[in-house]
Structures are given as structure tokens and as C-alpha cells.
Amino acid sequence: MTTETVDPRYADLDRWPTALAVEAMLEGQMAAIAALKDQSGAIAAAADAAAARLREGGRLVYVGAGTSGRVAVQDGVELTPTYSWPDERLVFLLAGGMDALAHSAEGAEDDDAAARAEIAAADIGQNDVVIGVAASGRTPYAVAAIDAARAAGALTIGLANNPGTPLLAGAEHPILADTGSEIVAGSTRMKAGTAQKVALNLLSTAIMLRLGRVYRGLMVNMRVSNVKLQGRANAIVRDVAQVSAERAGAALTHAGNDIARAILIARGMDGDSAAATLLRHHHNLRAAIEAGDA
């Protein structure tokens, strides 16, 4: 596995001046992102396929172990505040359970039986999208989860940092972030983890784009949970609906801080009609506006 090989250039890394070591690590991080350049098409195809399933009411399921699992969970949990993706439509399967987020449970990654049992317990089905992440591409927990999910009819996406591995072979949509050897040999929390984080950001954001949860580059489904976001929400409603700050604020209050609904209200719809319109268009604000409903 390329992620496990030793790079002789860094054999004496521990003796380097700290500034040089940091520069070398930074170059490695930049190279990790560049490794995704030829994967944009694969990421886009996976996003399009995922959005099609999710429009039918499916769930996003993130699977992983160790660093890969923690990176996967981080991507998923951010979808709720950013895009109001429902909590009940997110599933996290982390080897060793969610306690492994804070306390290492590295041995759990070998438990393929647990992965299969957890896929079954989650009642994974044909409308669900299962994203398996493993730097090695061989982690038994992730590979087994993808295998079981695909057998259950779910759409499967595999993200790995080594080519020709079981995770990529088992997923319908393989994404390879070929980051090569690490500066600290085998420490996939470095280059591999960075590439995984970027790939997942791209994938999940593209999915939200295709689901209409972004309008004119704005987070029109963002959850308003603090003073800063209240101000941002007002600016979004004001700019999209072309109304005053006062009218935008009144619309947000009437909409219970649902930004997309507030935009429709600010454009002249009543609250119930705005809610029904968004529901009819699967919460896609652009579709609602372009259909002439608002």
C-alpha cells in the first residue's frame, strides 16, 4: 500500500529544523489536494447518482474506521446546520461506535461482522446512499459495510487512498485520492486524511447543489442558530427577494427563520402557501421560483 511506504526523503525528519519540517508537511498537504484533480468527474458522477436516490427520501450513510471514520462523521454532521439536512436522514456507522470519535478503537476496524450487522440494523435500502471511507481501501469494517449495503440495493460510494483495493472495487462509484507515502510513514491523518476531507466536502456540497439546497451561491437552507447567522439570514432574504432589511426580518419571523420560506413570503406569498410550495418542489427554492409559484 502506497500510504504505508517509507519515503527516504524524510528518514531524518526528526533532526530537521522545525521550520523546514513544517514546510515539508505543508507541501505534502498541498500535494494531497492536487491528488484529487483527476477525480472531479468521478465525484460529480457520484453526486448526481446520490441526489437522484435522495430525492426519493433516502438517507446519507457515512461509514469508516479510525481517522477515516472521524473525517466522514465530520463531513456529515455539518450538513444539518449548513443545509438543514434532516438529522433523521443521516446515519453514521463508525467502527467501535460513536465513542470512537473521542477514544481510539482501532481494533474495531477488523470487525466485518459488526459492519454487516449494523447495515442490517439500520435497514439500509435502495433509496439510501452509503459512503465508505478507508485510507487503505482494505479496512474490513468499511469493505463489509459497502458490500452489505450494495447487496441491499443502496447506492454505494467508496473513497480510498490506495488504487486497486477492495473498497474501490466493491463500490458502484469509486473515488481514488492517490496521495502516496506519508511524510511520517503510515500516518494517514496527514495527506490521506486531508484528501479525504476535501473529497467529502466536494461530494456532499455537490449533492446539496443538485438537491436545490443552494440558490445563487447562497445557503438558503442554512439553520439560523445564533446572532451572526441571524444577520446572514436577513442579508440573504434581503438580497434574493430584493426587499428592505425590515421586510426581510418580518418574513424570517413569520417563517420561523426558514430562509427559503422567508424568501417566498418576502416575495408576496402567505406562509402556508410558501411552505406548501417548497414541499411540492422538494425544498428546491430555484425550482419553486422558476415554476412561477413565487
Q: Which residues are catalytic?
A: 78, 109
Total number of residues shown for the chain = 294
Distance CA 203, CA 210 (A): 11
Find the helix or strand (DSSP H, E) in which 64 lies: strand 60-64
- CA-to-CA separations, 18 to 9, 15, 100, 174, in angstroms, rounded: 16, 9, 31, 37
Tell me the β-bridge partners of 92: 62
For 106, residues 6+ apart whose C-beta sits below 8 A from its C-beta are: 65, 66
Phi, psi of 60 (to 5 degrees): -95, 125
Distance CA 196, CA 93 (A): 17
Count each helix (H run) and each strand (E run) in the chain, helices first: 13, 5
3-state secondary structure of 26: helix
Q: Which three cell numbers stand for residue 101?
A: 470519535
Which stretches of 99-179 are assigned E, i.e. beta strand?
A: 129-134, 155-160, 173-176
Look up residue 91 and give its DSSP letter.
E
